[in-house]
Structure formats: C-alpha cells, structure tokens
Structure 1
C-alpha cells in the first residue's frame, strides 16, 4: 500500500504472471448422461418384461432362438411343447425361425402328443421325444399286448390307427421296435428276442393290413432288452423298459400330397 499527495492510502493490486488453472473439462457430464440414459432404458425393459403375460414371454423367446436349433425342451422331451403352438402357427408364423425339417418334427410330435393324451391309460404309459433323425413315440407293452403274448389289445388298435394317420399325412417311414425281457417270455416264444420281434411284427402287420400303409415304408425290429430306458435294477424299472417304439424318420420329411378322395 502507498499514500498519494493528499495523504490518502492507495491500494495497489498486482496480477500474478502465473496462469490460473484451466477450467475442468465437461466430458464426464456426457458419460454420466449416457449412463443415466442406459439405466433408464434398462429399467424400462425390465418393466415391460415383467408386465408381459407368460404366453407372450414364450413367444418373445422364440425370436431370440437360433433359427436352426430347437429349444432344449424340443430336443429332450417334446411333450413340453407349449400347447398354444399349433401346427398352423408353426407353418405360418414369421417369428418361428426353425428349419422346414424341424417344423415338421414339431407337427408330428404335436400329433403324437394329441394321440397319447386322448386316452388316460395310454398317456400314463407313453412318451414322445426326438433326435436329429426323427421323432420317437414310446408305448408300454402293458397297453399294447397281453403278458407274454404278441396279441394286440383293443387299446393297441386305437394307438395304431393314430400312428397310421400320421404316416398318411407325411411322406415319412416308420420303424417299429419291440422291447422285452426274460421275465415276460413264455408261450410259443422261447426267448425275449422272439417275443420282442413278434410284437414289433404284429404292430407292423396291423399297419400294413388294416390301414393300408405301404410295406415299403414300414420296418419291424426286435431288440429284446438290449436298449433299456433305465437300469433294470427294480421291478418298476424292468416294467418301464418293456415297451414298443414307433420311430418316424426320413431324410426328407415333407407333407404328403393327399388326393381329394382321401389318403
């Protein structure tokens, strides 16, 4: 401080030669705004998903599936196919991104499910699954045959008529596979091999003679107890392994062209 000629105090300010620190950058604001926007979109998506009905959620999940790979339930157990998916929806829905072969496997599996669900005794003793080659329907021997016999039961005729309808609707082949064990052999059959083969042959003969399915599309195989479903360690497991299988398969599973007069 100094005094002027009048004796008054004069305050003198001096600016420093050193520069002040620069203003903080604004890039963090942009990053923060992006974060808030992303979080808002995320929570909005969560709210939309929670508000969807279960059926819509299932339909939405189909959009994100690999177009050539069915979902897990299709591969392991096609009985779990949602009931709202009908064959017509599979054919016409643009959201269904499955290959033509897998679509037709779905149709066949749904028809089998409808067949086995029409009778409680059949439903409780059967199943359906698929693999890369075709679709498999399993029915326990207790439904199809009398113990130790290859004679078809009345319930077997109903099952075989349903099996034939699928063959009439699609240009596919069928392998009938019989399974039996030592506990069920008897009568004119000296071993489980003859019994399992006779049962497969009886079912195949019915399809050829009663329903008119061409024999070129049918095959019968007796497997005895060589391919158990579960380890035969108990009476319940052994009973489950005694079954007959209908394996629909074809390298080209196309819908059959049906005439106006019928199959």
Structure 2
C-alpha cells in the first residue's frame, strides 16, 4: 500500500501462474514415499547379497512349494537331505545337528558320489533318506543279467562302493530285491524267488568278497509288492525293477514305513 494525497491506494498483483493447482504439495508426499520404498528395496538387496551361502539355502526352503517336486527329484528319485549344509558338518555354530543327521548326510554324499561316477549308473539310480536311514536304488538292468541273479561287471563296482561305505561307518545294511513277471524266464519259478535271489547275491558278494560281517547284512525279496510308480506301462515296470541298499545305524530301527521305501 502507498499513500497519495492523503488517500490510501491499494495495489493488487496477479500471479503469473498457479503453481499449486488442484494438487498443492501432495506430489511431495508421493515422491517421499517412492524414495523410501526404493531405499528399503536396495537395503534388502544388500542384505541378501551379504548373507552366507548356507543361510541363503535355509531361507530358500521357507519359500519352496513342498507340493511341487523338483525336476531332479522326479527324474532321478533323488532326495539328498536339504536340511543339512556342508558347513554344518564342519561344526558351524549356526547349525546344531544331531549325530544321526550328520551320519545320514555323510552317507548320502558318498552314495551320490558313487552313483554319479558312471553315467549309466547315474541314469538308473537314486538316493533318498527318511527318519530311519539312507536308501540307494539301482535298476536291475545295471545290476543283473535278465532273468538271473548273476551280478554284472558294472554291478561289482557298485558293490565295492557299497562295501567301502560299510567299512567306513559302523552301520548295517538291508538289501531289498524287486522283480516282476516281465523280466523273462529263468531258473526261478516266480518273481519272489528271483527278487530274493538277487538280494541274496548282493549280500553274498558283500560278505564273501568284501569281507563285511554277515551280522550287519540282511537280504529281503519283495517281488513287485512295493512299486515306485503304478505298473501301467512298460517304462513304469522297468523303473520298478530295482535293488535297494538301505543303510541304517545300529541305533536306527527301520519302521514299517521305511520298509516301503522313503
């Protein structure tokens, strides 16, 4: 305001433009939220990168869908214990494992090394575990000649690996034979005799040639009573024809469920 001849003059000035508009300063709030979210995102990325490998593995299990099996498990029947990390075996203070779990993990790793040393064996075998012990499965086509209990040269190498694990660990072994009527004719009157003879042949090899005490061995013939998959096709029947090596410590007694396989 200015005075002119005793009169008060009021001057109005119009703004060049409406900077606030209808939104006013609300954009600042939205921008601040965006910056805060980005800061939290990059902080999360930094935390993930800085985690130890075994911690990442344990964290991934939280988000894993338990109802969807992995491709590796579906194809190779492979279920190596995922609840134990290599660092835990070395005595990492972050993981406190029972002696039994450590034993099962070490056995599973040795079995995996054994079956992956030969591509043909790898494609026709698998390893899994349950609360009672560790199971190795090998298809009969790798272990025996058709319709017989004669061990093949490839099977002898597997048996030597099986024996080495038994010598390194004070554990027991149950050998379970599985067979069906489609394996061809032979000296055995039925699939029961054939499956039992194959299990007995494996145990005899371990006892006589590998020197494993017979008190730690057991042979069981199961014929086609415990199929892995429904025997609805030739491929499924071939998968079901197998021999199993089930490792258990003297303190781990196989339950009824373990007899059906893990």
TM-score, normalization by structure 2: 0.71
- Asked whether the equivalents of residues 115 and 162 of structure 1 are also in contact (C-alpha less than 8 Å), the reply is yes
Cα distance, 1:235 vs structure 2: 0.4
* CA shift digits 1:199-229 (9 cap, x unpaired): 0000000000011100000000000000000
> 33-42 or 7-16, which moves further after superposition?
7-16
Cα distance, 1:44 vs structure 2: 1.5
- Asked whether the equivalents of residues 67 and 97 of structure 1 are also in contact (C-alpha less than 8 Å), the reply is no
* CA shift digits 1:85-116 (9 cap, x unpaired): 88675142222332221111111000000000
Q: In 2 relative to 1, CA 126–12 (structure 1 residues): closer, same or farther, beyond 3 Å?
A: closer
Give 1:170-189 correspondences, 5 Å limit: 170-189=169-188
When Rg is computed on C-alpha atoms for both structures, the one with the higher figure is 1
> 58-67 or 81-90, which moves further after superposition?
58-67
Q: What is the aligned partner in structure 2 of residue 207 from structure 1?
A: 206
- Asked whether the equivalents of residues 78 and 109 of structure 1 are also in contact (C-alpha less than 8 Å), the reply is no
Cα distance, 1:170 vs structure 2: 1.1
Q: In 2 relative to 1, CA 105–29 (structure 1 residues): closer, same or farther, beyond 3 Å?
A: farther
> 96-105 or 235-244, which moves further after superposition?
96-105
Q: In 2 relative to 1, CA 235–7 (structure 1 residues): closer, same or farther, beyond 3 Å?
A: closer
Cα distance, 1:30 vs structure 2: 17
- Asked whether the equivalents of residues 180 and 192 of structure 1 are also in contact (C-alpha less than 8 Å), the reply is yes
Counterpart-to-counterpart distance in 1, 2:200 and 2:58? 42
Q: What is the aligned partner in structure 2 of residue 29 from structure 1?
A: 28
Report the count of equivalent residues: 262
- Asked whether the equivalents of residues 91 and 103 of structure 1 are also in contact (C-alpha less than 8 Å), the reply is no
Q: What is the aligned partner in structure 2 of residue 2 from structure 1?
A: 2
Aligned to 1:177, the other structure's residue is in SS state strand
Q: In 2 relative to 1, CA 75–95 (structure 1 residues): closer, same or farther, beyond 3 Å?
A: farther
Q: In 2 relative to 1, CA 67–214 (structure 1 residues): closer, same or farther, beyond 3 Å?
A: farther
Q: CA RMSD in A?
A: 8.1
* CA shift digits 1:5-30 (9 cap, x unpaired): x9999999999999999999999999
Q: Which runs of 5+ in 1 are unaligned?
A: none
- Asked whether the equivalents of residues 180 and 224 of structure 1 are also in contact (C-alpha less than 8 Å), the reply is yes
Aligned to 1:79, the other structure's residue is in SS state coil
Q: Which runs of 5+ in 2 are unaligned?
A: none
Aligned to 1:162, the other structure's residue is in SS state helix
Cα distance, 1:259 vs structure 2: 32
